[in-house]
Structure 1
């Protein structure tokens, strides 16, 4: 039988040149090596990981080394190999490093976990008849057979002392022992978060949106959609219905959210509707074992939908039919390390290669997405009515300069204080947002106007009253407060400007002493995670 040669690109990170090498496939690995496989190959004096990208029909006339081993992970499909080649050209990144990013180290290093089961090797009716025959002379074997007839398989640890009877049943050809993979899922039990009342009825707008997008899915061609809907218009429910319909047609889905914190709510709804065995999670906070199992579930096709952050766009589902990019305008979809890809661009290319449908949802789409939807490059689907039947919230803009003229020198306007009073008297709660931590965003010397800045980041230091310190929110540099002014030597003449969460908390506590005020920011929640 002639030798088989393949082209392998090593995964050596971004600093490695974009180069491939030819290797011979040893006879013992011929059945395992295929394009997309993760293999171990000798390179110089070391062993490295690499990816098989194609078969070589005419190898070079030089000494060619053998592939040393093959990973147990399922190979990447042709669409992901083509996607990796496109990303290498688009983002000027070595092909081996792009493929390595698609199959991260936790997925490679994690190992599959198996559980041993005893299952019937004969029809249930025959096993039941044998159990009756064994009842008198071998009651333990009869109990095992009846248990297998009822349960259609039992884990070895569930058999307990009856495991001693298993060998006799196996030798008689009535029972066999098999190993089955155990899936270590993330967010076990999260479906309890979902609404038990079931999916809500769709509005006319939502029904039209689902019908229009499903028409493109059934057309089996590439189609990008912008699902542009006002807040509370039911975009998430449209996406969930689309996922259900696509899975019902035997294809797979990717559901991307911008942040890990948003995964549980989507996951709960999908697992409640589809079952936990059909939905897997993919993001960087999973354990190596969970990443390995999620990869296997996706690549084998057992998982109908993969929910995750931007890296979930590389999940190796075999029959991709739909990609949902929720809140497509979020900057979190842009990778800022290594291969600096944008998940929206990659999703568009992957859907194009797989002839799948992409749904980008947003109430405030990015300018480029909205422009392409308006010009017809993307298909625009609008949801203009709130499913709750309520109108948009009333927004009041207060000019704080007028407040100062009226004698109000506090950080809260009179209108805000009045509205807070009304809400509290009605027994309700209020949320007050401010986009700065600390007490004062910056402090300066009241004598010479010197502003204390971080020596590393060249930004003003923030005053934190709780710790009596000046702190840089970029690098963590801190100084005790107060400090003598380094410019004029004055002491205790520091003045602050602006307001942070600590100052807002102190002001609300002063205004409403009988009400509990809870501050939620990085300083109060860091120790809880």
Structure 2
């Protein structure tokens, strides 16, 4: 006898995309889903004057409101609920980061699902020969030579060919349909990412590379725990073969019929990672990143959720990709700041990867040449396994940082004469040079040489950057732009001069100094067009002498085998910043960009220009490397009571009215301190203080910091504070957010 459905609930608790941290009660609609109401079903509901898409998260028999006052659901959009592992991850994320569950679900799903589209894969045509079409040429095509040629071609592909592949061989749809009418071929509809039907013993399209001893030890340690939660930090110098360890771990995971999720920090790394993985494996490999169309993203999301895609590669948001059979999670360049979302839902993809691996009972591998201090502390405490790769795949060790004193020396485009001469010698030897300057534009600002006026943004406490292509002044904080002035607005002088150097100015200088050598600038401005970055890298990989001028886009994981000299134009920008993480992040960036040199046949050299060559931290990094500096920074953090030895939360408040945001921040701090004193909860409340950039986008920013030695205490205080703000009328006229585990204080 057919099983009867459970009785329909009287109330549905639905998560709505709203900043309010609660579910909203609705009555079920008359036409419910075929298998009954379950958490995870998307519904369309009235919300105010709009119809919005929400997700059922609870099925109840009663509500705080009378049932007659509840609005009914307008329509159920799904026959089956969204994946259970995805729902768990969204609940965990909303709870840990003190964020609205409705907003969390909204941000974690593809745009088309937010709009109410069905969770279905787009399909494509495939044409396959039927049993009647095999063997010798059938009489039905004896007088149709083109049909006979088409049939012969399809016979060479037992699994069939897609329509595009057939049409690319100069055949037509009419010829395909004619063969189908004769019963010689059949038309199939399949998802764009088809399930791999091959033999698990033939996963590889090319053989794996031989491992050195350190790689083999690391891989063996990972193989021991393929069926258990096993967090590992793989600390390997640049060029030591971390990616090969990733590939062979994935081979083991996919060979067992499970899926691997690989996170990379930047969209610029995705194409080269995809290419390498697709070159190695015969199975489908899908990507998830911001460069996809909405339909492409939904296709990839559905392929991962259904299990048809054994390998998923993506940037930060790919951590929310549902997996039918998770087997391992890999986070490449785990230290990178781009894994932290800096607005809205302020999650950290690396930390969610660890939580997700723990939930599924699978290994998680975090790789970096310059691990974050948080990860190093976990590894050194024994919570995570610490694996090391100290040898490069090439025979040359990583290049040491050579500190070059800038004091009292003339500069051209930010470069001093000895460095320019080193560039000249490298190009003459037939090699490539990377010039790293982490500031786009022509110059940091424009100044009047007569009165000292500086071009400042009207909306931010920041100076406007001078650009030459096109000529304008731009604020890189609020994106405000204005035309270059003909004269100083203060004194009328026409003696306006650029101060400092950006990528454009350094590019212009090098082009004038070395007119016979191509100069490629790589920054956010020069790579706006789709595939622009890949085209430049394609030219660079040909190996001809050239100059690369770029920002940190070039420092992250790119293999540039012909670069033998790296020049850092100014290493001082992050040394003395107000943020306590600035030195750690500057050191990571210096080591990462230095790692682009000497990765192949020739040794590398790294010249670091600085005004503070006697700085003890910088000297320690240059003489003994990142590990020694990280050890000292951990000691300093422990003494100062800073992460990773204490946990932080940062309340950010902003308003166009300075007095309003100051008053609210003061009230919030006073209320929180009173509550903490009553509860005797060991949480420090610091502030409120102005943000490092107090005025940004014509809004005033203040901050309140919470610190505690226990996460549970910090979360308890954060939950009380957000509840107080939600109940305070003044807070509704002020924009505020609570950032758990902030990675920057700006």
Structure 2 partner of 1:14:
18
Pairing 1:188-267 to 2, within 5 Å after superposition? 198-217=207-226, 220-267=227-274
In structure 2, how many angstroms separate the alpha carbons of the residues matched to 1:454 and 1:515? Answer: 37
Over 3 Å counting, the alpha-carbon distance change for 1:69 and 1:119 in structure 2 is: farther
Structure 1 partner of 2:717:
none
1:109 pairs with 107, 117, 120, which one? 117
Pairing 1:46-445 to 2, within 5 Å after superposition? 47-56=51-60, 58=61, 62-63=67-68, 69-71=75-77, 75-107=81-113, 109=117, 112-115=121-124, 151=158, 157=173, 159-166=176-183, 179-183=189-193, 198-217=207-226, 220-275=227-282, 277-401=283-407, 403=409, 411-445=414-448
**2:403 partner SS:** coil
Over 3 Å counting, the alpha-carbon distance change for 1:30 and 1:200 in structure 2 is: same
1:295 Cα deviation from its structure 2 partner:
2.1
2:507 pairs with 505, 508, 511, which one? 505
1:243 Cα deviation from its structure 2 partner:
1.0
In structure 1, how many angstroms separate the alpha carbons of the residues matched to 2:162 and 2:441? Answer: 56
1:22 Cα deviation from its structure 2 partner:
5.5
Over 3 Å counting, the alpha-carbon distance change for 1:437 and 1:85 in structure 2 is: closer
In structure 1, how many angstroms separate the alpha carbons of the residues matched to 2:343 and 2:18? Answer: 10
Structure 2 partner of 1:493:
495
Structure 2 partner of 1:38:
42
Output one character per residue of 1:476-522: Cα deviation in whole Å (capped at 9) or x when no partner.
32232432341xx2412334432223332343344444444444444
Whether the 8 Å CA contact 2:45–2:52 is kept in 1: the answer is: yes
1:263 Cα deviation from its structure 2 partner:
0.9
**1:263 partner SS:** helix
**2:179 partner SS:** helix
1:230 Cα deviation from its structure 2 partner:
0.8
1:26 Cα deviation from its structure 2 partner:
5.3
Pairing 1:448-459 to 2, within 5 Å after superposition? 448-459=451-462
1:254 Cα deviation from its structure 2 partner:
0.6
1:527 Cα deviation from its structure 2 partner:
5.6
Output one character per residue of 1:364-422: Cα deviation in whole Å (capped at 9) or x when no partner.
11111111111112111111111212112143211122536xxx888432321221221
1:55 Cα deviation from its structure 2 partner:
4.8
1:441 Cα deviation from its structure 2 partner:
2.1
Whether the 8 Å CA contact 1:229–1:363 is kept in 2: the answer is: yes
In structure 2, how many angstroms separate the alpha carbons of the residues matched to 1:149 and 1:395? Answer: 57
1:233 Cα deviation from its structure 2 partner:
0.8
Output one character per residue of 1:206-229: Cα deviation in whole Å (capped at 9) or x when no partner.
011011012121xx2222111111
Gaps of 5+ in 2: 164-172, 196-203, 533-746
1:54 Cα deviation from its structure 2 partner:
4.8
1:337 Cα deviation from its structure 2 partner:
2.8
In structure 2, how many angstroms separate the alpha carbons of the residues matched to 1:246 and 1:6? Answer: 44
In structure 1, how many angstroms separate the alpha carbons of the residues matched to 2:187 and 2:32? Answer: 27
Gaps of 5+ in 1: 170-174, 186-194
Over 3 Å counting, the alpha-carbon distance change for 1:116 and 1:74 in structure 2 is: farther
Whether the 8 Å CA contact 2:13–2:58 is kept in 1: the answer is: no
Whether the 8 Å CA contact 2:259–2:323 is kept in 1: the answer is: yes
In structure 2, how many angstroms separate the alpha carbons of the residues matched to 1:494 and 1:46? Answer: 53
In structure 2, how many angstroms separate the alpha carbons of the residues matched to 1:176 and 1:436? Answer: 58
Whether the 8 Å CA contact 1:9–1:95 is kept in 2: the answer is: no
1:445 Cα deviation from its structure 2 partner:
2.7
Of the structure 1 ranges 477-486 and 356-365, higher mean CA displacement relative to structure 2 is found in: 477-486
In structure 2, how many angstroms separate the alpha carbons of the residues matched to 1:208 and 1:30? Answer: 52
Whether the 8 Å CA contact 1:120–1:149 is kept in 2: the answer is: no
Over 3 Å counting, the alpha-carbon distance change for 1:327 and 1:422 in structure 2 is: same
Output one character per residue of 1:339-371: Cα deviation in whole Å (capped at 9) or x when no partner.
111111211111111111111111111111111
**2:43 partner SS:** strand
Count of equivalent residues: 497
Of the structure 1 ranges 438-447 and 362-371, higher mean CA displacement relative to structure 2 is found in: 438-447
Of the structure 1 ranges 238-247 and 22-31, higher mean CA displacement relative to structure 2 is found in: 22-31
In structure 2, how many angstroms separate the alpha carbons of the residues matched to 1:15 and 1:3? Answer: 32
Q: Name the structure, 1 or 2, with higher relative contact order (CA <8 Å, separation 6+).
A: 1
1:197 Cα deviation from its structure 2 partner:
6.8
Whether the 8 Å CA contact 1:445–1:485 is kept in 2: the answer is: no
Over 3 Å counting, the alpha-carbon distance change for 1:527 and 1:30 in structure 2 is: closer
Over 3 Å counting, the alpha-carbon distance change for 1:455 and 1:145 in structure 2 is: closer
Whether the 8 Å CA contact 1:4–1:25 is kept in 2: the answer is: no
Q: Over the residues paired in the alignment, what is the CA RMSD in angstroms?
A: 3.9
